[in-house]
Amino acid sequence: MKQLLVSPSPHVHGKENTRNLMRDVIIALLPAVAVSIYYFGLSAIILLVAGIASCILVEYLIQRFCFKGKSTIGDCSAIVTGILLALNLPPASPWWIIVIGSIVAIGVAKMTFGGLGQNIFNPALVGRVFLLVSFPVIMTDWTAPASFFGASLDASTGATPLALVKEALANGQTVSQIFADNPSLSYSQLLFARVGSAGEISAIALLIGFVYLLARRVIKPHITLSIWATVFVFSGILWLCNPDQFTDPIFNLLTGGMLLGSIFMATDYVTSPMTTKGMVIFGVGIGVITILIREFGSYPEGISFAILIMNAVVPLINMYVKPKRFAKEAK
């Protein structure tokens, strides 16, 4: 048997480490954070601060007292979880709800499995879904974006575009009627500011973050793009079959947590497949499940459930979609 040889130094030292990667993700999230602070002012800041602080605290306490190991909060992953969780909640949520969400996200979804790198499910999404199931009243109480600082104190509430459409469809209206009745569903509104969770209101801000992540080579585009393509094609087929019952593909891409989820949550290293082929399968699965839930399920939005379901399938994908072994002959 041939020995594995290590060439003599100097070795090339990659400058990527968890901390740097997480820093890039945080930078990519900044446009969305800025937009949410711009529209929701103090309530968005409270959510962000409470989310980040409680995520760090929970991770520190568990690491210190349950694992009795070295603190891992320096890798900044708890900060990313905190920000994502805050961006995923309705802007008017009380501060304690994000503390509960952080305990579930970090405590249940991450540390129970052994910390960063071991978790099966995306922590921020587990936190969000737990809150959605636990506090459905608070979690569907959306404040309409009311342009400037402080204005959120007496901001009006509204339904998210997806909820609005679902509700009206249930009442027997057709899609074209709904769009004619609600000017808030126009594309310009959807692109810049619409009713929704703190981080999903502006599609542009999220797309800027996506471009940054790609430019810095933090993520590969495969997962995100295959989710978009699947959503576009699948909802497009439904829309062509019956435009009165189903919304058009562009609307589906711009609404709900589609962008936030497909750019920042589905691409989480730990909980997504390792190979590019696996990533495409993963993305297609998320796209299909999301549209199934949106169009036929009882919840108006399904991407968080879709990502979590596909998270569970990742080990299976990794097992069957392996990269070709090095030096194995091509057939």
Partner 1 sequence: MAIESSLRNMVIVLFAVCLVASAALGGIYTLTKEPIEAAQVAKTNSAIAAVVPEFDNNPSDSANVREIDVDGAVSKVYVAKKGEEVVGYAIESSTSKGFSGNITIMVGFAPDGTIVNTSVISHAETPGLGAKIANPEDPFIVQFAGKNPGNPDFKLAVKKDGGSVDAITASTITSRAFCDAVTTAYKVFCKINESGEAQEQL
Partner 2 sequence: MSKFGLITKGIIKENPTFALVLGMCPTIATTTSAINGLGMGLATTFVLILSNMLIAAVAPVIPAKIKIPSYIVIIASLVTVLQFVMQAYVPDLYATLGIFIPLIVVNCIILGRAEAFACKHSVLDSAMDGIGIGLGFSLSLTVIGFVRELLGGLSIFGNRIAEGDGMLAFVLAPGGFLVLGYLMVLFRKVTKQ
Contacting partner 2 (CB under 8 A), which of 137, 241, 327, 330?
137
- Verify binding: residue 315, partner 2, rule CB under 8 A: no
Could you give the CA distance from residue 227 to residue 249 in angstroms, rounded to a whole number? 12
Least distance in angstroms from the C-beta of 171 to partner 1:
7
Partner from partner 2, partner 1, none binding residue 171, C-beta < 5-8 Å depending on class? partner 1
Partner from partner 1, partner 2, none binding residue 298, C-beta < 5-8 Å depending on class? partner 1
Partner from partner 1, partner 2, none binding residue 140, C-beta < 5-8 Å depending on class? partner 1
Q: Is 300 helix (H, G, I), strand (E, B) or coil?
A: coil
Q: Which residues contact 7 (CB under 8 A, 6 or more apart)?
A: none
- Verify binding: residue 140, partner 1, rule CB under 8 A: yes
Residue appearing with tokens 């052994």:
114
Residues numbered 279-298 forming contacts with partner 1, rule: CB under 8 A: 298
Tokens of 251: 């609307």
- Verify binding: residue 120, partner 2, rule CB under 8 A: no
What is the CA angle 210-215-221, rounded to 5?
55
Could you give the CA distance from residue 149 to residue 38 in angstroms, rounded to a whole number? 6
Stretch that binds partner 2, among 20-28, 43-51, 135-143, 312-320 (CB under 8 A): 135-143
Closest CA to 168 of 154, 157, 180: 180
Partner from partner 1, partner 2, none binding residue 189, C-beta < 5-8 Å depending on class? none
- Verify binding: residue 181, partner 1, rule CB under 8 A: no
- Verify binding: residue 133, partner 2, rule CB under 8 A: yes
Closest CA to 130 of 93, 98, 158, 152: 98
Q: Is 82 helix (H, G, I), strand (E, B) or coil?
A: helix
Least distance in angstroms from the C-beta of 138 to partner 1:
9
User: What DSSP string describes 44-58?
Assistant: HHHHHHHHHHHHHHH
Could you give the CA distance from residue 1 to residue 142 in angstroms, rounded to a whole number? 65
Contacting partner 2 (CB under 8 A), which of 38, 60, 113, 130?
130
- Verify binding: residue 113, partner 2, rule CB under 8 A: no
Q: Is the peptide bond before 10 cis (omega within 30 degrees of 0)?
A: yes
- Verify binding: residue 74, partner 1, rule CB under 8 A: no
Nearer to partner 1, 73 or 138 (CB): 138
Closest CA to 54 of 92, 104, 88: 104
Could you give the CA distance from residue 236 to residue 243 in angstroms, rounded to a whole number? 9
Nearer to partner 1, 24 or 295 (CB): 295
Least distance in angstroms from the C-beta of 170 to partner 1:
7
Contacting partner 2 (CB under 8 A), which of 17, 134, 157, 177?
134
Contacting partner 1 (CB under 8 A), which of 96, 117, 147, 167?
167
Helices (H), 153-262: 161-170, 175-181, 187-192, 203-215, 222-241, 249-254, 258-260
Could you give the CA distance from residue 250 to residue 283 in angstroms, rounded to a whole number? 18
Could you give the CA distance from residue 88 to residue 91 in angstroms, rounded to a whole number? 9
The radius of gyration computed from the CA coordinates of the chain, to the nearest angstrom, equals: 21
Number of residues that bind partner 2 (CB under 8 A): 8
Binding string, residues 89-128; x marks residues near partner 1 by CB under 8 A: ----------------------------------------
Partner from partner 1, partner 2, none binding residue 27, C-beta < 5-8 Å depending on class? none
Least distance in angstroms from the C-beta of 133 to partner 2:
4
Question: Given the rule CB under 8 A, which residues bind partner 1?
Answer: 136-137, 140, 167, 170-171, 298
Question: Given the rule CB under 8 A, which residues bind partner 2?
Answer: 100, 108, 130, 133-137
